[in-house]
């Protein structure tokens, strides 16, 4: 089993695990961790495609690797925004539940 085939299967497993965690965990920080897991699985799939694209004297296809680098930075930025929202929500409301029922406003209040 070459490293790229193995990495591809690992990538598929990570995507599945991450998807499971994203859906079942109620805590948003754990959902974020699961999302990062999916992200790293997707990047691994890019990686095996880059490795398979070895040609013309290169050991890899540089385009997918460059896309992964861009993706890692964007995923980090997403995590930072999510963390900021989670922390602020926790500080202001004392709870981080995402259940819409919990946030339904009591009757009589209004919104602008």
Q: Which of residues 39-98 bind another protein (CB under 8 A)?
A: 39-40, 42-98
- d(C-alpha 37, C-alpha 34), whole Å: 5
Determine contact, residues 31/21, Cβ cutoff 8 Å: yes
**Residue 96 C-beta: closest distance to another protein, Å:** 6
Is 8 strand, coil or helix?
Answer: helix
**Distance between CA atoms of 37 and 43, rounded to whole angstroms?**
10
Nearest-approach distance from CB 63 to another protein, in angstroms: 5
Q: Does 101 bind another protein (CB under 8 A)?
A: no
The CB-of-82 to another protein minimum distance in angstroms stands at 6
């Amino acid at each position: 089993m070459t490293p790229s085939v193995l990495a591809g299967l690992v990538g598929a497993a990570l995507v599945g695990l991450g998807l499971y965690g994203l859906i079942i965990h109620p805590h948003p920080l754990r959902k974020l961790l699961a999302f990062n897991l999916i992200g790293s699985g997707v990047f691994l799939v890019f990686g095996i495609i880059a490795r398979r694209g070895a040609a013309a004297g290169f050991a890899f296809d540089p385009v997918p690797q460059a896309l992964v680098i861009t993706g890692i930075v964007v995923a980090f930025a997403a995590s930072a925004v999510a963390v900021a929202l989670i922390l602020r929500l926790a500080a202001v409301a004392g709870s981080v539940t995402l259940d819409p029922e919990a946030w339904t406003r009591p009757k009589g209040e209004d919104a602008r």
